[in-house]
Amino acid sequence: MLFSQVIGQEEVKKRLIRSVKEQKIPHAQLFYGPEGIGKLQLALSYAQYICCEHPLENDSCGKCPSCIQFSKLAHPDLHFVFPIIKSEKKKLLVCDDFVGSFRQMFLEHTYFSQTDWYRKISGEAKQGMIYTSEGDEIIRKVNLMTYESKYKIMLIWLPEKMNDQCANKLLKILEEPPENTVFLLVSNSPEEIISTILSRCQQVKIPRLSNEEIAEALVNRCQISENEAANAAQISEGSFLKALALMDEHNVNRENFEHFVNIMRLAWVVGNKGDYASLKKIRQWSEDMAAATVGREGQKKFLNYAQRMIRENFIFNLHQPELNFMTSFEKEFSVGFAPFINETNAEDMMNDFSLAERHIEQNVNSKMVFFDLALKITKLLKK
């Protein structure tokens, strides 16, 4: 992977490139930071640059045999370690048994989460681990002669998933690895790594991406408008993965938004204009929300979404845009709606939506839950 293909992180890229140019490559480095900011991608770009036969000023050449092999994650001197999920049919498994799936995952998606990986190899969001047997494999591989490159790269993704036996096996080789061996550890949760591993690594903190970097990447990769990308980036908390998830949830959020707007308008009309004919529409809304097609999970997602909208509309009244995290269509609605959410009713409304969510979880009749909730909203919007 080329550095140019990694989203943002320009300062980190410069630091990594400089270490290669000055021939001061630490033998063990830990890249750490939140999920979805490009740590694994940086580590692979760095490994490719280290092994590139004709490195350019700010990137690998992308054309030499080494770079071509790296582009397929198939360089013989690049070794991967990552958490796996053991099968009941076969107890003794190591990462090499899953490396084909790992290459496929990376080449198809580039940015993916720990949960995405577990689903890839198990079909479920189970918890993976780097088992004791992997420690022996790592030691065996780093003691091999290099095949084509001057350097041998051992990339360990999510070292916090190593069990203690595996981690302890690596202590000596991390401290005194064979010549021209580079360990690159990539962690979401460095606080979960044993201290003796941490002390043997040079730690590189990878910062969150800026809103501008995420928005630009979304426009280029997802073919969406700049406005939609900017809104998703603002909510993403510096994680490209979160921004992608928001785009996937866009249609669901739009549907929940319509449900929210519908009940708020109906409740306001009944509460403030005494249009009791609209009570029939509120009853219909309750039946629609209780329909089997929505399902209990969909109902809970709506109630959770509604709580976020109440909170965002309350904050909207502060006129500090940097504190608001809403899409363009949510903001457009909030211009007129926010004044009705204030200190007299915001807390009660949040509590009512939260209570309804708990009732749904407890399998209370959902039609009753939503009709009761709608009547409460009617009273609260009169305040």
At 366, the amino acid letter reads S
Helical pair 250-273 and 278-289, crossing angle rounded to 10 deg: 150
> Does the reported pTM lie above 0.75?
no
* Burial environment of residue 282 by CB neighbours within 10 A (0 to 12, 13 to 18, 19 or more): buried
Instruction: State residue 90's pLDDT score.
Output: 65
**What gap in Å lies between CA 107 and CA 269, rounded to an integer?**
53
| Average pLDDT of span 368-383 | 92
Q: Write out pLDDT tens, residues 29-75.
A: 999 999 999 999 999 999 999 999 999 999 999 999 999 999 999 99
Out of 114-123, 175-184, 250-259, 326-335, the most confident range is 175-184
φ, ψ at 56 (rounded to 5°): -90, 180
Please give the share of the chain, as a percent, with pLDDT higher than 70: 96
Q: pLDDT tier at 252 (50, 70, 90 boundaries)?
A: low
Tell me what the pLDDT averaged over the chain comes to: 91
Q: Which regions of the chain carry the CATH code 3.40.50.300?
A: 3-207
| Average pLDDT of span 80-99 | 85
Please give the share of the chain, as a percent, with pLDDT higher than 90: 74
Instruction: State residue 54's pLDDT score.
Output: 96
Nearest to 374 by CA among 274, 293, 259, 273: 259
| Average pLDDT of span 157-176 | 94
Q: pLDDT tier at 346 (50, 70, 90 boundaries)?
A: very high
Instruction: State residue 295's pLDDT score.
Output: 83
Beta-strand pair 28-32/181-187? parallel
Instruction: State residue 297's pLDDT score.
Output: 82
Instruction: State residue 291's pLDDT score.
Output: 86
At 42, the amino acid letter reads L
Q: What is the CATH number of domain 3-207?
A: 3.40.50.300
Can you list the alpha helix ranges (DSSP code H) found in 187-276?
195-198, 211-222, 226-235, 240-248, 250-273
Instruction: State residue 254's pLDDT score.
Output: 81
pLDDT surpassing 80 at residue 324: no
Please provide the DSSP assignment of 294-322 as one string: THHHHHHHHHHHHHHHHHHHHHHTT--GG
pLDDT surpassing 70 at residue 293: no
| Average pLDDT of span 131-152 | 93
Q: pLDDT tier at 224 (50, 70, 90 boundaries)?
A: confident
pLDDT surpassing 60 at residue 125: no
**What gap in Å lies between CA 75 and CA 60, rounded to an integer?**
14
| Average pLDDT of span 13-41 | 96
Nearest to 309 by CA among 285, 268, 338: 338
pLDDT surpassing 90 at residue 275: no
pLDDT surpassing 70 at residue 292: no
Instruction: State residue 340's pLDDT score.
Output: 94
Instruction: State residue 249's pLDDT score.
Output: 67
| Average pLDDT of span 143-157 | 94
| Average pLDDT of span 184-197 | 95
